[in-house]
């Protein structure tokens, strides 16, 4: 392993014999293109996806105004429908997204086929889909610069999580947004 030159207190550069005297003389590949500014995020603190802190979850819930519910169902017995209804009652703007129910209405709101069809900026994407569907959803959220990606109970995809975090999104996996909201924001009341 080559030893890089370092400047001493006397101002001279120490290198080993046969080593290059300047850093630009080293054969280090440079990136082909600059990193887009919105992706050049400062490093965030480590998030333990098996044990979220209340502070982390609360920051996501309080920092959200508009929630896109991916997999929203027109069936009132489905969890995605009940949680969308709860979020509306709590004052959030809800955007239902479901390619199978596109152009239908859920809770009086038009259902969109995909995230990009939404008419307004989205703060949080709440995913009610199988884990194998999450990478494509994460890619769409990254492209739209959505700040938060939330995967509901039973939904965990570490690959999608890493990709989203590397793009600057905050991620929650395998947690129910309604339960966490009741516990942290509504002080135990689901009304």
How far is Cα 37 from Cα 167, in angstroms, rounded to an integer? 11
Furthest-apart CA atoms within the chain: distance in Å? 76
- The model's pTM: 0.74
**Domains of the chain by start residue, with CATH:** 54-184 (3.40.50.720)
pLDDT in tens, 166-178: 999 999 999 999 9
Which whole number is the average pLDDT over 115-124? Answer: 94
Which whole number is the average pLDDT over 120-142? Answer: 96
- The token pair that represents 111 in the structure block: 């259902």
Torsion of CA 114, 118, 122, 126, to 10 degrees: -40
pLDDT in tens, 52-76: 999 999 999 999 999 999 999 999 9
How far is Cα 171 from Cα 108, in angstroms, rounded to an integer? 29
């Amino acid at each position: 392993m080559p030893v890089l030159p370092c400047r001493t207190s006397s101002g001279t550069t120490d290198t080993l014999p046969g080593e290059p005297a300047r850093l630009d003389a080293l054969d280090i590949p440079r990136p082909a293109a600059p990193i887009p500014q919105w992706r050049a995020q400062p490093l965030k603190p480590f998030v333990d996806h098996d044990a979220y802190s209340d502070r982390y979850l609360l920051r996501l819930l309080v920092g959200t105004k508009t929630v896109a519910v991916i997999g929203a169902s027109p069936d009132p017995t489905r969890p995605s429908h009940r949680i969308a209804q709860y979020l509306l009652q709590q004052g959030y703007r809800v955007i239902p997204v479901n390619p199978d129910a596109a152009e239908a209405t859920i809770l009086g709101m038009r259902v969109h086929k995909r995230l990009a069809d939404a008419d307004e900026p989205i703060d949080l994407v709440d995913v009610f889909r199988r884990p194998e569907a999450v990478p494509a959803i994460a890619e769409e959220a990254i492209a739209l610069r959505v700040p938060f990606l939330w995967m509901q109970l039973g939904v965990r995809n570490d690959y999608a999580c890493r990709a989203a975090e590397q793009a600057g999104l905050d991620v929650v996996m395998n947690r129910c947004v309604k339960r966490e909201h009741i516990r942290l924001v509504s002080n135990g009341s689901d009304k």
